Amino acid sequence: MIELRNVTKSFGPNTILRNISLKIPPGETTAIVGPSGTGKSVTLKHIVGLLRPDEGQVLCFGTDMATAPESELFKVRRRFGMLFQDGALFDSMSVGANISFPLVHHAQHMSEDERRARVEEKLALVGLPGIYERPTSSLSGGQRKRVGLARAIVMEPEVVLFDEPNSGLDPITSDAIDALIQEMKEALGITFIIISHDIVGTVNVADHIAMLYGGDLIAFEPTKKFVRLKHPVVRKFLQRNLILPEGPDDVARLPGLE
Amino acid sequence: MLNAITALGRFGRFSAGIAARMVRRPFFYAEIMSQVWTTTTRCLLPVTAVTFPFGMVMALQGLEIFRLFGAERMLASLISIATLREISPVLASVLVAAQGGSSCAAALGAMRIKEEIDATEVMAVDALKFHAVPRVIALTIACPLLNIAGSVAGVAGGYVTAVFLKGEPGGIFLAELWSFMGPTDLYGGIVKTTVFGLVIGLISCYHGYRASGGAAGVGKAVNDTVVHSVVAFITLNYFLTSALFGAAGQ
Amino acid sequence: MISTLAGIGRYGLWLRDLGRALLVHGMPKGQMMAEAFKIGIKSLPILLIIAAFVGTNLALQGYNAFKPLGGQRLVGMFVALAGVRELAPIIAAAMIAAKAGTEMASQIGVMKIREQVDALEVMAVNPLAYLVAPRMIGILLMLPALTVIAIFVMLSAAYAVCIYQLGMNGHEFIQFAQESIEPIDFFYGAVKAMFFGAIICTISCYFGFNCGKGPEGVGQATNRAVVTSSVICIVINYFVSELLYGGAF
């Protein structure tokens, strides 16, 4: 249901994406990895229609995000949830107001109480119960990601996108976020698309891995096959980390507030 | 209220610090010259783009009234002394605050947020002396220079409207410009804008240097700079005008 | 020069997008009044101070210029005419550009660099309708009111200076001032103010939306917002004055 066909995108003289074709398997977790600046975020932005390709199509639920008018784009986006790098929360609002924002705008049939109940439910899911009233500016980095994730899933979307969920986090918090994503995956069973440069976490949680390098899609395989690929660039990238994991780690209970 | 007084005190200490640094060696001549040049060139267009149309409006409104009394001849002198005494100093300073003060606060603020100021201090270089003093001096020098340009533009705007758009005789206009002018008119504006420039410089460096809270802090520093500078010099303007031009008339 | 033209073009396109967004999405209710009050209340103290000291100088300079020529009558007339027709709207506009305009540019700029504008889009909310519309309404509602307040404060300050510092006759001053202004001048002042308000709001928001990266980007956006809107307002002022007052006195 999400597919890039022959997508090419340049910024000035730099070609960031060259003739990329990629089909995202529904209901599973796909990671898009690669060194910095290879167009991972750009790919994500194409999927949600924040960027439009120079050539090619971006099909989401049958709509071509590259050419659709705003009203069509909006219809498709209501089926997405996205976690931005720093959470992209609105500082002028409380945590609860942030998370209920999509509900207020798109679920007007819900009463105030119903909305509050839904928000509290999602907050509990991401491991931050009871902080509905907190001001957003008082949150730590890890907490912002969790709140951002709660907002991304509050409309119960079919697809959740993660833009570098581990960026800017210390190792312990980073592990906690990985664990959270794993939990969400098991709890929700919907399509996840994760952009990452953190190879360990990715291998643990993703069902499929796509690798971008130099503007090309150099590999796209189920995880088990990906880690055994002989492609030199893939090998080099994987070996940046010490050990290749044998399988998913034990998922610890969420550690609560950092 | 108490906050305002504390803030004024802090500002006073800051300004004293800047003043002290201005007279001690080393002097970063190159930096100062470069700042003067940058500030003046950046503000030139905004200042003239404001005084010229205002001169036009003065001519427009002035002629409407003077034509009723048959006193069109007086338009030129009205425009010239109004521009020199009030309009140009005030408008030029507003735009210097908006452009020069803004960019000074923005530059220092960004440096503060990105810890460049801390880095300078760690390298045992006096950050205020290197970054702030040249900018304060630049604004103090640039403002009167820009005032001169603004005055010329203002009178030019009046001329264009009166002569080309409303058909007043050009020669008479130019001759009458000088009728009521005195020496105070010529240096009064310079005195005013030098003071205003200094005020803008101190306030913009103060807010920029003390910016905090990320990118939003830089925005706030710029905001506060423009607002406080304008309030400060509009208030000073009253006292300076009373002193320079007195209540006794020419 | 070319980049200025390109910039004007981009601004035009942005305005078109804004217009479309407002037509399609309307505005978020309830936020309107809050925005309007915020802009008005925060700007008031500054407006009062600036209007007062512009009034004082209007009186001082008017006295210097006209007393030798035509006595008190001309002073009152000059203060009233110049103040009401030209200075008050410009003061109100300049102050809104300085306070509200810079705030808009920097608030939206910060949201842009922290991807909050993108987040709005991804959550299927049009950022132009959501962010710009309430501010625009707030300004359009507040500016005429602020202009009228500016007029009164300015004239009162001028009156005070004339009486206490310059020793003029209070009654005569008021009489001559009243003679020169007509009610329509207040209306024109409000019209001007609304033009200025629209310009300031759109330009400031435009620079906020096109903010460059990092703190420097926000600083630059704020800087450009206040300078550009001030200059454009004063340039437009000539044309509006020409329209309202030129030849139709």
Domain encompassing residue C127: 31-244
CB pairs under 8 A between A and C: 44
With respect to residue C101, please indicate whether it lies within any of the assigned structural domains.
yes
Which range of A243-252, B169-178, B227-236 scores highest in mean pLDDT? It is: B227-236
Q: Let me know if residue A61 belongs to a domain.
A: yes
Residues A72 and A183 in one domain: yes
Which pLDDT value is given to residue B88? 92
Residue B20 lies in a domain: no
Number of domains in chain B: 1
Rounded to the nearest 10 degrees, the angle between the axes of helix B133-159 and helix B88-95 is 130
Which residues on chain C are in Cβ contact (under 8 Å) with B245? 60-61, 64
Q: Which pTM value belongs to this model?
A: 0.83
Alpha-carbon gap, residue B166 to B112, rounded angstroms: 53
Whether residue B138 lies inside any domain: the answer is: yes
CA B71/CA B61 separation, integer angstroms: 13
Q: Which among C57, C81, C227 is the nearest to B241, CB-wise?
A: C57
Q: Of B58, B84, B102, which to mutate for an interface test with C (greatest number of C Cβ within 10 Å)?
A: B102
Q: Is the pLDDT of residue C98 over 80?
A: yes
Give the closest-approach CA distance of B245 to chain C in angstroms.
Answer: 8
- Give the residue from chain C lying closest to B221, CA to CA: C219
Based on the domain organization, do A237 and A252 belong to the same domain?
yes
- Name the phi and psi angles at A164, rounded to 5: 50, 65
Q: Tokens for B59?
A: 């001519």
Report whether pLDDT(B241) > 60.
Answer: yes
Look at chain C and report how many structural domains it folds into. 1
pLDDT, one tens digit per residue, over B39-75 is 999 999 999 999 999 999 999 888 888 887 777 888 8
Other beta carbons less than 10 A from residue A69's beta carbon: 7
Which residues between 43 and 102 in chain C have a beta carbon less than 8 angstroms from any beta carbon of chain B? 46, 49-50, 53-54, 56-57, 60-61, 63-65, 67-69, 77, 81-82, 85-86, 94-95, 97-99, 102
Same structural domain for residues A162 and A152?
no
The C-alpha of C24 sits at a distance from chain A's nearest C-alpha, in angstroms, of 10
Is B6 part of any domain?
no
Token pair of A135, please?
Answer: 């001001």
Quote ipTM for the complex.
0.84
B23 found inside a domain: no
For residue C6, being part of any structural domain is answered with no
Residue C15 lies in a domain: no
Beta carbons of B61 and C86 less than 8 Å apart: yes
Closest-CA distance of chain C to residue B237, Å: 8
| A137 has a chain C CB within 8 A of its CB | no
Domain boundaries, position B183: 28-245
Residues A243 and A151 in one domain: no
Out of A108, A131, A156, a domain closes at A156
Tokens standing for B35? Answer: 């700042």
| Same domain (yes/no): A247, A176 | yes
Considering only CB atoms, C115 lies closest to which of A80, A86, A102, namely A86
Instruction: Work out the burial of residue C120: count CB atoms within 10 Å of its CB; fewer than 13 is exposed, 13-18 middle, 19 or more buried.
Output: buried
* C26 in contact with chain A, both atoms CB, cutoff 8 A: no
Of the listed ranges A132-141, B125-134, B143-152, C136-145, the least confidently predicted one is: B125-134
Are residue A3 and residue A52 in the same domain, yes or no? yes
Residue A127 lies in a domain: yes
Q: Do C223 and B222 touch (CB under 8 A)?
A: yes
Same domain, A152 and A200: no
Separation CA B113–CA B213 (nearest Å): 8
Per-residue pLDDT at A257: 22
Q: Which residue has the higher pLDDT, C181 or A52?
A: A52
Residues A176 and A187 in one domain: yes
The answer to whether residue C177 sits within a structural domain is yes
Q: φ and ψ at B122, to 5 degrees? A: -60, -30
Does residue C249 surpass a pLDDT of 70? Answer: no
Contacts of A102 in chain C (CB under 8 A): 123-124
Residue A248 pLDDT exceeds 80? no
Structural domain boundaries, residue A107: 90-156
Is any Cβ of chain C less than 8 angstroms from the Cβ of B234? yes
Here the CATH number for the domain that contains residue A39 is: 3.40.50.300
**Is B98 in Cβ contact with C227 (below 8 Å)?**
yes
B250 domain-assigned: no
Q: Evaluate whether residue C9 is within a structural domain.
A: no
Examine the domain organization and report whether A50 and A119 are in the same domain: no
pLDDT at A258: 23
Within a domain: C25: no
Collect all residues of chain B within an 8 Å Cβ-Cβ radius of residue C237.
53-54, 57
Q: How many domains does chain A have?
A: 2
A224 part of a folded domain: yes
Same domain, A73 and A162: yes
* A72, A181: one domain: yes
- Residue B248 pLDDT class (50, 70, 90 cuts): very low
Quote the minimal CA–CA distance from B25 to chain C in Å.
Answer: 30
What is the SS3 assignment for B62? helix
In a domain, residue A84? The reply is no
Residues A145 and A167 in one domain: no
pLDDT in tens, A136-148: 888 888 899 999 9
The pLDDT assigned to C30 comes to 63
The answer to whether position A85 is within a domain reads: no
Report the pLDDT value the prediction gives residue C141, as an integer from 0 to 100.
84
Q: Has residue B108 been placed in a domain?
A: yes
**A95-to-A129, A145, A150 alpha-carbon distances in Å:** 11, 12, 10
DSSP string, C144-191: HHHHHHHHHHHHHHHHHIIIIIT---HHHHHHHHHHH--HHHHHHHHH
Find chain C residues with C-beta within 8 A of B53's C-beta: 234-235, 237-238
Determine whether the interchain pair C109/B214 forms a contact, defined as Cβ–Cβ distance below 8 Å. no
Give the separation between CA C205 and CA C101, rounded to whole angstroms.
8
C122: closest chain A residue by CA: A77
